[in-house]
Structures are given as structure tokens and as C-alpha cells.
Structure 1
């Protein structure tokens, strides 16, 4: 499976990429980078919602410069992994437990056979939420985990009781595959940099947008009702733990 390379974001050297299949039939794109000479183990990077392997090429270089092999996947429904809905821009997942299936498939088919131990996890946002669930389930594949802004909650009013209730009712009415109210197919991460709430770095923001401009099929738009509903369920689980 080819990785997308642009002048501002070339593919790091010594990469092997391809696809693996989960037990429930999802096809996941993976990439792994060989360890440098001063090997220290493998860092497995787990991305956030709407992200893809290409966004982390800089991180891959930094980790390999520090002596680590690196391995990654695109979550189901993102990047160049398989999409379940007819509209591929809809950010959809049936249940967050499906992402845990992605992690186990990745570990069993890529990490354990081909990546030197010890194994570490570096996860951002939605990826951090998934890894918290993996750890809570008692999985002990990783010696250490580092979570960047794990998605354990969202700002109000997005998580208000009326908002959660509306999503649940829409899903019960068979509308899980539609965009959340107000959502669109506009690619996440391609809005104007001005007044964005996520980063103060215009250079990296422009680079990430250029990746999607080069290959729009890597991106997704707004979440679906099903994704948002199961995300709220996961976040309620964190609060109850």
C-alpha cells in the first residue's frame, strides 16, 4: 500500500507498508520503519480522529533519530483503511470496541512478528481514548504508553445532555450513518488556519493540509451520528472508572 509523499513531507526511509485484515473484515493500512543501529525498541503511534499515517512522518523521523523503530496503522474508516459507508468522507464507526479490534490485529500481525521489543505506545486524542480502553481491558502488549490529549471528554455544549440525547434518538431511529447535525463532508484539517482552535503552528498546519490536497481520499469530514454516540458512551465509561 503506497504512502503519499509530497516535497514538504517525504516518506521516511526504510519503510514497509501494506494491509492487514481484521477478524470482522476491515482492511487496515499499516506502515513500519526498521530500527536504526542503536535500537531501543519500537514505538507504535496511534493517531487521532481524521488523521492518517502521513501526518506523522516528522514524528517518525524524530523517533528513529532517537533509536526507535516505528509502526503505525490507519484506523478503520480513516486514511487508506477500508470505509464502511457509501460516502467515504463520513467519519463512522459502529462501536469504539471496533478500534480495539484494530489494535489487536495490528499487534498480532505486524508488531509482534516484525518489530523489535520492547514495545511502546504513543497515542493522540481519539487514539489515546482507544489505548486507555485497551489498558483497562487488561491487554499488556506495551511496556509504556504516552497519551497526548487523550479524548476522555469534550467541551460543553457538545457533551450536554440534550446533545447526547438527540444523537441517541437519531441512532435509534436508524440515522447512525448520517452526519451529525450541522456536519458536512468538508475535509477535516483543511479550514483556514486563522482562528483555528487546535494549533498555533502555521507551517505544520499548511503541510498537513497539503497532504490532503495531494490525496483527498486520505481525509474524512464530520463525524456521523454513530461515531459521536459511541464516543460519548466511551467518555461516560471513563468518568465511571
Structure 2
């Protein structure tokens, strides 16, 4: 077995701009001046790193409610998303009484990179980040029986979270937002192995002219659609463009392994707007519910309130259903936002 080690610290003095383009992990991002306060880091937010074996370190962040938490939520973003894109959702969940952790994906966000250029998405396998998620929960989060542990995932992050559960991670439930499971390719995507960490034909590096999430069709919301682009503009080390052939192959491989072990996923699962592969996988699980938010785009956590509010309500209801005290969280009034 791969021996794991933990490096967890508050990294308050990193000079990210000096390492632009390097492989090192990155914390303490600069908040873009263009963002409204609701997109700022939650109060008390702190960063740390988790490492498994000789793999690049992955960045995580955490903040908690001031009262006894009703649940612990670990967020696993989708491809191309940084932890910063989830700050608004983290604040909402903290306001509802949760402790919230966000684990940047391997080779993405503030995590260390496997290859250069830094904005090329590459990972040789999903196994290291599955292992990192398990170690984060076991060594750092250390959930207690009194407080339910919920994994909240986005897009292909569902493969990471569900693979961790399949391989033995104990959790009280998984919420998969717009989950994606790779379709089998019509033909092999990789030629020689040396091509795995190279950009595919037509790949373009990240640029300021790159479409934001609204222009890319991930959300209807003009303000939330700018958030990810703003963080990457202000913090070059966070930038990520399209995936390499190797990342795509790793996603396909992890999807096939996950599908073959559906019976080993015993935790309750809620899927919100699953793609075809995820919906079919849900039907194989012992306890899985799939729900559709009609006309919503793929990034429900940054959607317009018309869709995001019922999405957040569904997330909260799932968490409340797993609370041992049977109580419901107190919800503060939240003004309308668009």
C-alpha cells in the first residue's frame, strides 16, 4: 500500500506571484477587486496541504460555524474549478451550521502540478486524489459519530468521491451535483505513452480572453459566471485550461473501475442533474436518488437563484436527513440575488 503523509499548515506568507508557471502548490490567493463580498473567503478560512506518497501536494481549505456543527461537508470540485469558486456555497453551508472543507483536485487549483505548463490539466491516474481524499478525512477532518460527514461533489469530482467510498471511505452520504461519468470512447484516445502528459491537438493555454462560466454555458448568472475567471485573472497560479490526453484517459479508466464496483458503494447518494452515465450508475446503487432541475445549466452551485435556491435546499435537506438528532438547521433569511 502507498504510505501516506500529511503536511497541514496555515500558509500565510506564500508569495505566489514568484512561482507563476512552476509546479509547486499555492495558497493564500489574492481576492479580485471586482468581486462582491459574497464571493470572498468565509470568515476564518484557513489553507493547508495534504500529500500521499511522492505525489504533488493537494491544497485544501476549511472554515466552520461558531456553534457546534450540525454536519461536516467536504467539497470535491469539478475539472477546472478552484476552491475559490465554492466560497459562496461554503459560506451558505457554514451559515446553516456546517463545517466546510474544500479539497482542490490533484493538478488543479492551488494543488501542485504534475507537468508544465501549469495550466495544462494532467494527472496520471485518479488513484492519488482518491487516496488524498481518504487521507484528508482520516487524518485531518477526523469526523465524529455525532456529526454526519457528507461529500459534496461537482461534475467529474463525483468519480473521485464515489471511488473513495467504494474503496472504503466511511461517509454518511454523497451529494453529486451535475455528476459526470465518462462514456467509453469510440476509439483509443492515446497513442504512445509519452503523449499522455502533452496537450491534445488544438489545445490553447489559459488567457484573459478565455470565456467565463456564463459565456461557456455553465450558468445563466452573469455575476456568478465571472467569479472563476476573476480568481484566475488575479492569481496566475490558479489558472487551468483544457485537459491533456492523459487526464482524459485517467477519467475514463476511473469511470470504468467505479462502474464495475457499484455494489461496493453503500452510502446514500443524491444526484442532481446527472448526465447519462451517472444516471445509469445511480440505478445500480443500493441507495441513490436522481433529481432534475429543469433548464438548469451544469454548474448548479453558481447558477442563478431560480435554480441555485432549490439546489441548495436539496443539499440542506439531504444533510438534515442524516443528522442523528433529527432536528433541522436554522436558516437565516437570505436576500434575493441574481
TM bucket normalised to smaller? 0.7 to 0.9
Once the two structures are TM-superposed, the CA of residue 236 in structure 1 deviates from its matched residue by: 3.1
Greater Rg over alpha carbons, structure: 2
What residue in structure 1 maps to residue 70 of structure 2?
40
5+ residue gaps, structure 1, are none
Regions of 4+ moved over 4 Å: 192-195, 238-241
Taking structure 1 as the reference length, the TM-score comes to: 0.85
Structure 2: how far apart are the matches of 1:101 and 1:92?
Answer: 17
Q: Partner residue of 1:161? A: 186
Partner of 1:232: 252
Work out which structure has the larger RCO, using CA pairs closer than 8 Å and 6 or more positions apart in sequence.
Answer: 1
- In the alignment, what sits opposite 1:128? 158
> Is contact 2:212-2:225 (8 Å) kept?
no
**SS of equivalent residue, structure 1 residue 147:** strand
Using a 3 Å threshold, how does the CA distance of structure 1 residues 65 and 201 change in structure 2: closer, same or farther? same
The DSSP-based 3-state class of the residue aligned with 1:79 is coil
Give the distance between the partners of 2:241 and 2:89, measured in 1 at CA.
24
Q: CA deviation at 1:239?
A: 4.8
Q: What TM-score does the superposition give when structure 2 sets the normalisation length?
A: 0.62
1:145 maps to which of 167, 174, 177: 174
Structure 1 residues 123 and 188, CA gap change in structure 2 (3 angstroms):
farther
For residues 37-81 of structure 1, what are the alpha-carbon distances to aligned partners after superposition, in whole Å with 9 as ceiling and x for unaligned?
252021111101111111101001110111101011212211111
Q: Aligned pair in 2 of structure 1 residues 3, 109: CA closer, same or farther (>3 Å)?
A: farther
What are the Cα deviations for residues 101-141 of structure 1, in whole angstroms up to 9, with x where unaligned?
Answer: 22022113321179x8321111111211111211222321x
Structure 1 residue 206 corresponds to structure 2 residue 231: no
Mapped to 2, the partners of 1:75 and 1:193 lie a distance apart of: 18
SS in 2 for 1:60: helix
Equivalent position to 1:6, from 17, 27, 32: 32
Give the gaps of 5 or more residues in structure 2: 1-10, 12-27, 263-338
Q: Structure 2 vs 1, CA of residues 63 and 94 (structure 1 numbering), >3 Å: closer, same or farther?
A: same
Corresponding position: 1:79 with 2:109: yes
